[in-house]
Amino acid sequence: MSEPTPLLEVTGLRKSFRVARNKAGRNRLTALDGVDLRLGRGETLGLVGESGCGKSTLARVLLMLERPDEGTVRYDGVDPFALKGKELLAWRRRVQMVFQDPFASLNARMTAADLIGEPWRTHRDLVPDPRKREARVRELLDLVGLRAGDAHRYPNEFSGGQRQRIGIARALALEPDLIVCDEPVSALDLSVQAQVLNLLADLQQRLGVSYVFISHDLSVVRHVADRVSVMYLGKIIEHGPTEDVFDRPLHPYTAALMSAAPALEPDGTAGGGDRILLSGELPSPLDPPSGCRFRTRCWQAADRCATESPDPYGRGEEAPDRHEGRCHYPLSLSPIGA
């Protein structure tokens, strides 16, 4: 079966930054070190990793806010970094973002209607008739579960969950194909978080939009993502269909991450069983370990791990349903704890 062109295909992405020299005299921070991603239409890709792993740099590259040093990004087969002028503007419309902090990301001096309609000032051909804009704002408010009467209220009159709905409406105003959601619910209370997750799922079904969903909360990612990529120090160390990755992780880091996350079983008891407790913390991305980057915290690291960077080990279907992990000694096929 020949595969249709994916909405988003990223290969071999590298990005480093110059920073102040550390004690060892290093000043190159490698944020992304050979990242591959693939995302189909109407799908959700979960991106998981701890702070400093490169998730946000990756998001910035996907939004074209950063130009990669190496590697390619293709949307519908087109490299956005090669576009100029009108074509570039048209491309930008198709990729939008929902931010983490609904308090910081909305201008306090603009009404909900202004905020939602603001993107049309740049993308003029989308709703060219100013008279139609008001109606369209109302549609968008309705779409995200706010009332038409909310259009003329200011951000401080809304709760955190409602503000995040405004942020989502603002992203949807440009009818994007892809929305990069950077920790979209982590600032929200649990009871409100569920409402926003439901809204995102509902919008995906109705509009066919794709999400790159960045989160540190594994239970959220498990619920929303079709596929998941796990990042560690600038590399994707495991990737695959969500259930496979969660139930049968290949990489020890993935297993440790899942095991460290507090879990709640349906009977109200704590899940997880025996913890894999990692010692130490993330090494500095200025001075990453040789060979496998995880070896300094890995309980099964051997000599080989210090010298050779592991190639992906895969199992299961061919891409995109293939489950791959970069480890010399991938974990067995049995679920953790069994």
Partner 1 sequence: MNPLPSTATAEPDARTAEPALAVEHLSVDVHTASGTVRAVHDVSFSVHKGRTLALLGESGCGKSMTALSIVGLLEPVAEVVGGSVKAGGTDVLTLSRRARRKLAGPVLSIVFQDALAALNPVQPVGRQLGEPFRIHHGLSRREAREKAIELMRIVGIPEPRARARSYPHQFSGGMRQRLLIAMAVALAPDVLLADEPTTALDVTVQAQIMRLLRDLRAERDMAVVLITHDLAVVAEHADDVVIMYAGNVVETGPVREVFAKPRHPYTKGLLDSVPERAEKGKPLPAVGGSPPELSAVPPGCVFQARCPLARERCADERPRLTATGPARAAACHFSEELTSV
Q: Which residues bind partner 1 (CB under 8 A)?
A: 50-51, 159-162, 189-195, 197-198, 201-202, 216, 218-220, 222-224, 242-243, 256-257, 259-272, 275, 277-278, 281-282
- CB 123 to partner 1: min, Å: 31
**Which C-beta is closer to partner 1: that of 15 or that of 222?**
222
**Which C-beta is closer to partner 1: that of 27 or that of 159?**
159
Counted residue by residue, the chain has a size of 338
Q: CA dihedral defined by 158, 161, 165, 166, rounded to 10 degrees? A: 30
CA atoms within 13 A on the CB side of 14: 10
**Which C-beta is closer to partner 1: that of 271 or that of 335?**
271
- CB 178 to partner 1: min, Å: 21
Exposure string for 170-181, b = 16+ CB within 10 A, e = fewer: bbbbbebbbbbb
Q: CA dihedral defined by 292, 298, 301, 307, rounded to 10 degrees? A: 20
- CB 228 to partner 1: min, Å: 12
d(CA 76, CA 25): 42
**Which C-beta is closer to partner 1: that of 271 or that of 337?**
271
Cα separations (Å) of 127 from 41, 96, 151, 157, 225? 24, 17, 17, 27, 32
- CB 213 to partner 1: min, Å: 12
**Which C-beta is closer to partner 1: that of 73 or that of 233?**
233
- CB 295 to partner 1: min, Å: 15
d(CA 123, CA 130): 13
